[in-house]
Amino acid sequence: MDPQHLLGLYDRQLRREARPDGPGCRVEHIDGVVRQTGPEHAWNGVLRSGLDARTADAAVAAQIAHYRAAGLPFEWKLYGHDTPTDLGDRLRAAGFTPEAPETLMVAEADALPDVSVPDGVELREVTDETGVRQVVEVHTRAFGTDSGHLGPRLLEQLAADPTTPPAVVALADGEPVSAARLELTPGTDFAGLWGGGTVEGWRGRGLYRALVTHRARIAAAHGHRYVQVDAADTSRPILRRLGFLTLSTTTPYTYDPRAGHGQDGTNTP
């Protein structure tokens, strides 16, 4: 678990050699930029850029033009170790809106401890439309935003691989109170843990930790050695206590070319 080795492995497998993460999506490598383009409910944006001060502004303008032609809002996923060092300033100058920075954290999937849930709570892997609706309901209640775009994405994942649950829901006496998504990237060592949310009244009772470790066991069973999280400030201490290491930071920069400028909260993975 050497952080520099893991960061290099992560950059190579999930960024430089990125693969489409859903039906109808394509990944392109163009002029130092790795980007994904797909349906509007998919994640659209720049996964990686190998730029310098000479090439950065032209590359930024080219991505705006690309997604404007597609009529899609998109995200430039900027990591703390990306170059040039002032790329964030250049994105803001071009009209992107930065969201809150997150911390890229990684752990060995089979090394995480078992975490129990409170009495009356059951963790259920999502395998059908009912489970998908429960995930959307939890995210809408937990984050106070319209999470309807998750439904088509999760259903596509189930259709593509019915043997792998795209999410796990915590049910308290049958009511969905917490949920989190899982993305397994075939051919890589990493599985992504995304979107953990718990409704008010059930926070601080260990559901987030239980969902992390449960999804890690699924990932390990499918041959993924590591699980990774883009952690918010509230999640970082919990993950650190579970054994996650910090590798870098990541900041979503969003842009809606339909409006000609950035907007908050668009298509975060």
Q: For the stretch 18-42, what's the b/e string if a residue is b when 16 or more beta carbons lie within 10 angstroms of its beta carbon?
A: beebbeebeeeeeeebbbbbbeebb
pLDDT above 60: residue 265: no
**Residue 168's pLDDT band (cuts 50, 70, 90):** very high
**Residue 148's pLDDT band (cuts 50, 70, 90):** confident
pLDDT above 50: residue 267: no
- CB proximity list for 193: less than 8 A, separation 6 or greater: 180, 181, 182, 212, 215, 216, 227, 228, 229
| Alpha-carbon distance values, 14 to 10, 137, 186, 238 (Å) | 6, 29, 10, 24
Using one digit for the tens of pLDDT, what is the confidence trace for 75-119?
999 999 999 999 999 999 999 999 999 999 999 999 999 999 999
Secondary structure (3-state) at 199: coil
**pTM of the full predicted structure?**
0.91
Structural domains in the chain, sorted by start: 3-102+250-255 (3.40.630), 113-242 (3.40.630.30)
pLDDT at 257: 86
Using one digit for the tens of pLDDT, what is the confidence trace for 171-196?
999 999 999 999 999 999 999 999 89
